A and B are shown apart, each in its own frame.
Chain A
Amino acid sequence: MKILIVEDDFGSRKVMQKYLALYGDCDIAVDGEEAIEAFNLAWEEGEAYDLIFLDIMMPKIDGQQVLKMIRSKENEMGIKGTEEVKVIMTTVLGDPKNVMEAFHKGGANSYLVKPFSQKKLLDEIKSIFSKNE
């Protein structure tokens, strides 16, 4: 599985990388700009991501915007439904406004409130992927 972790906090991304190391090939982007770049690069190289963890609060381009850009790019390429990359939003704010926006407008698959345990993370991944089977 090819995973992209988008996270501006150094510690948080290291933790996630460790958590996920055994389950897939993890790339790291430190801001929204890099996230888009990595997303495009993966497609250019013919190996798109299967799963993206997207921090909401980030400098330059925030997670919500990144999500919108990813979805519109997929739309351009004619990628739909289960073919779309799974996106899990991560946030320290458990506020419903963010979450609602991510789900309804952006098309996120799930969200996690930081900090979270490895078990919680893996459960979430399992549940997303089992939904589509």
Chain B
Amino acid sequence: MHSRKKILIVEDENIVALDMKKRLDHLGYEIVDILSSGEKAVEKVRENKPDLILMDIMLKGEMDGIETAHEIKKILNIPIIYLTAYSDSITIKRAKITTPFGYISKPFSENDLHAAIELAFYKHDIELSLHESEEWFRKVFNASIDAIVAIDLNGNVILSNPAAEKMFKIQGEEFKQIQLQSFICDESKALFEKIINSILNEDNLSERGKTVELVCLKKDSMPFPVELSLSTGNAGGKDFILIIFRDVTKRKKTEESLQKALKNAEVASKAKSDFLSIISHEIRTPMNSILGMSELALKTKMTDEQEEIISVIRQSSNSLLFLLNSILDFSKIRSGKIKLEMYKFNLRKLLEDIVDSFYSQAIFKGLEVYLKINPDIPENLIGDSKRIRQIFVNIISNAIKFTEEGEVIIRVDISYEKSLAHYLNKDKKIWLHFSIKDTGVGIPKNKSDEIFEDFTQIESSYNRTYSGTGLGLAITKTLIKLMGAEIWVDSEIGKGSTFHFRIPFEITTILRKSKKLAVFKDLNSLVVDNNETNRKILTEILGSLGFEIFKIERIRDSIDIVEQNEISLVVINELDYLEIDFVTEIKKKSKFKNIIILLLLPIAAIYNETKLKDLGVFSIVRKPVKATELLNVLMLAYGYKIDKKRRKVETQKEEKGINILLAEDDAGNQKVIKRLLEHEGYSVYCADNGNEALSVLSERKIDLILMDLRMPVLDGIEATKIIRKSNDNNINSSIPIIAISARALQQDIENCLNIGFNDYIVKPINLKEFLKKIEDILGEENKKRTNKLRKKNKLKKLSIHLDDLKRSLSGEEYNFAEKYAKYVQSIAKSINNNIIKTEAFKIILSIRKGDVDYALSRFSVLEDEAVKVLKEK
């Protein structure tokens, strides 16, 4: 319930006052008091705040009603209603000053009173909220850092905030006497007028709220830059324009200094590369005479010692020259002074050449270097072979430098994704994807961008672990950029890095239609589409990818075609829901279990993907069909299938595939396990008991035995014992054997492992675990085998380098002898032979010293040991 409004009555005629009280009570108001004089009223208001006052104008005493109201207004903002019998103009004029809320002439009815009071409350509420919101806006207006100025249509200032006064250095009242135009700098005046006009133009709404930059003047004519935003309005029937000025002096200064800094940096950078290039030239000049003269000196008659000295000078000069050339090259590339020279070249020859040049370096570290080039790549390409060589040399030498053990694999492939336009016969460009993979130290993730920056080596401390200027990759990256190519690196610490780059090449001949993308060659596809244009597009794309194409208009005709031809791909352009069953039908009738069905749908079509996939749709492709997108989907679809196919082919073809012997007496189990393993691509031979297992083992090459523990005639445990002890040359006594048993006690398992089983599987077999165990064991065997192979290779190398060393020592070719001794030393290290390692090192030290006799004597010790090692194998 509303609390009752409190009303104070100020009336000196008692009867009138009591009458009013009675009426007010009746109307539901609370009467605070009835007072007869102004003084009392003022006092009362102070202590007991009423909501409204009914004030008689004519009061006895010193203050009349109007004066009293005036005093009360100073204390409290409450509505006051005058009561009077008179309404002469002088009184009304006086009363007006106190902004009364009502004016009731006596005598009045109860209704008059009620209406006057309620109206007064209503007006008062509105006034309060107006006052409040104005207060808010005034605060904002006054507190704004930006200057806010309103002008009338003649340009006279009608309103301004303190910030404006501060900005223009002018006092508030003064402002109003000045036209805003006079604050605008002369050169900005035209612009200012233009924006004022355009904002007044109703049609040009877009100008509203836009900011404009121009120059203003302070009162003292000091110019300063501002940003303006304008809007228009109407108050009291008068149009005005509101302008907000923001002083942007600071920002301008920052911008200027940034510009300056940028320019300075550019100048400095240019100066640096100019300096580099000049200084390099200057250093090259004397280098020329040093190199030339040592060259000449070497042709004159000299003692051996003199010759050696001059050789060292020549060699050191050469390495200095190489360094200078890289710096020069770098600064040239950086300053954009080099241009690519495009000629026809043979990629394979180039790469083979580069790899050859790294051969000795790789051998020295015991690394293998492989080069794998996709045979589909055209022989002759057009490009800057010199720069491509440079890129390869940089990356391969890094790969070798940062790899201590393992291999470096260089692969070249066609980037199908990038070369699509080419396969669509639209472009003579083909993109090749090069990758150089090493098994080296790797690059931390957060550094993989940094390494392409200038002069950066990951460990750029003084104790460089790896020599080099760190220029190589920076040059490489710049060259790649110049070729419009891209480079990136995948790496894992400790596992190695793979540098990838893709370069576009022009090719000399357009591919003939017959030469198609090998991936989809000779695959049959069916296009179901009733739109001729669409069909054409699809035919073109699929055709260029290598597909053979069948075309039909209606899906109902597709079943026959699928049934009669080896269709592996069906592309359907839109599908009515009445036709959905045909998809299932196609799947059923196809000769391929995994026939790929693609559905083309308009870009906005809504469909239930899960349902379509359940029906057998491989993927939905949105129209318009983009070739890249289609290719991606197809790669995904066929990538999976091709892999599967290949694996199957391998198991069928390869006689040397993995052979598993399954010794199991239960025919049912035997069948299940056999089928299961064959499905995974293993070849399986079965035996019903231990004896049979032994005879199979001696007849066939078996890689792994699955041995049931409980079998008649000869059980699994005994059979395994026999195998492990076997001296028979036909039986590999260390062949991996996995026990199969229904018992799973820890003790049983331990027993089996003690007897010589490699692992233990409990029946019923958990397929996943079972296959994993087999793979693990075979993987280990494989590892052992490759280790053996590696060691064999190492020994082979050892014997070769031993011969080399012997030959060079007796031939007095000591430079070579040192090199070969180093090879021998590093091989000895990798096969853990200390004697050979130490003796080789002694030979190295004595060769460097020139103590040939000692070297020869150490060699004979080394040779004896090596012969022993080589015999052992």
Is B86 close to A, CB under 8 A? no
Report the minimum CB–CB distance from A6 to chain B (whole Å): 12
Q: Evaluate whether A26 and B467 lie within 8 angstroms (CB atoms) in the complex, with A11-B315, A41-B838 already known.
A: no
B316 within 8 A of A: yes
Cα separation A65 to B173 with both chains bound (whole Å):
81
Distance in Å from the Cβ of B707 to the closest Cβ of chain A?
49
Residues of A within 8 A of B842 (CB): 41
Report yes or no: B312 in contact with A60, Cβ–Cβ below 8 A. no
Determine if A124 is an interface residue (Cβ-Cβ < 8 Å). no
Complex Cα spacing A65 to B848, Å: 24
B315 touches A10 (CB 8 A): yes
Q: Which residues of A contact B313 (CB under 8 A)?
A: 11
Contact with B845, one of A14, A18, A28 (Cβ below 8 angstroms): A28
Q: Are A64 and B463 in contact (CB under 8 A)?
A: yes
User: Which single residue of chain A is at the shortest CB-CB distance from B464?
Assistant: A57
Number of B interface residues in the complex (CB < 8 A): 19
A15-B312, A41-B842 known; A57+B465 contact, CB < 8 A = no
A27 contact from B462, B464, B849, Cβ within 8 A: B849
Residues of A within 8 A of B849 (CB): 25-28
B462→A14 contact, CB < 8 A: no
The answer to whether B848 touches A59 (Cβ under 8 A) is: no
Residues of B near A60 (CB, < 8 A) are 465
Task: Name A1-23 residues within 8 Å CB distance of B.
Answer: 8-11, 14-15, 17-18
The answer to whether B462 and A41 have CB atoms under 8 Å apart is no
Check A84 for interface membership: any CB of B closer than 8 A: no
- B466 is an interface residue with CB less than 8 A from chain A: yes
Residue contact A56 to B841, C-beta cutoff 8 Å: no
State how many angstroms separate the Cβ of A31 from the closest Cβ of chain B: 10
List the A side residues contacting B467 at CB < 8 Å. 8, 59
Given the known A-B contacts A18-B309, A37-B841, are A11 and B462 also in contact in the complex, defined by CB atoms under 8 Å?
no
A62 adjacent to B465 (CB under 8 Å): yes
A62 to B461, CA, bound (A): 11
CB neighbours of A64 from chain B (8 A): 463
Nearest-neighbor residue (CB-CB) of B846 within chain A: A27
* Cα separation A59 to B308 with both chains bound (whole Å): 25
Closest Cβ of chain B: how far from A51's Cβ, in Å? Answer: 15
Contact B841 A28 (CB under 8 A): no
Q: B397: shortest Cβ distance to chain A, in Å? A: 13
> How far is A41 from B464 in the complex, measured between Cα atoms in Å?
26
17 additional contacts, CB 8 Å, given A28-B845, A56-B463, A59-B464?
A9-B316, A10-B312, A10-B315, A10-B316, A11-B313, A11-B316, A14-B312, A27-B845, A27-B848, A27-B849, A28-B848, A38-B845, A59-B465, A62-B462, A63-B463, A93-B462, A97-B462
25 contacts between A and B (CB under 8 A): A8-B467, A9-B316, A10-B312, A10-B315, A10-B316, A11-B316, A15-B312, A25-B849, A26-B849, A27-B849, A37-B841, A38-B841, A38-B845, A56-B462, A56-B463, A57-B463, A57-B464, A59-B464, A59-B466, A62-B464, A62-B465, A63-B463, A95-B462, A97-B462, A98-B462
Top 10 nearest A-B pairs by Cβ distance?
A62-B463, A11-B316, A28-B848, A14-B312, A27-B845, A59-B467, A11-B312, A37-B841, A59-B466, A64-B463
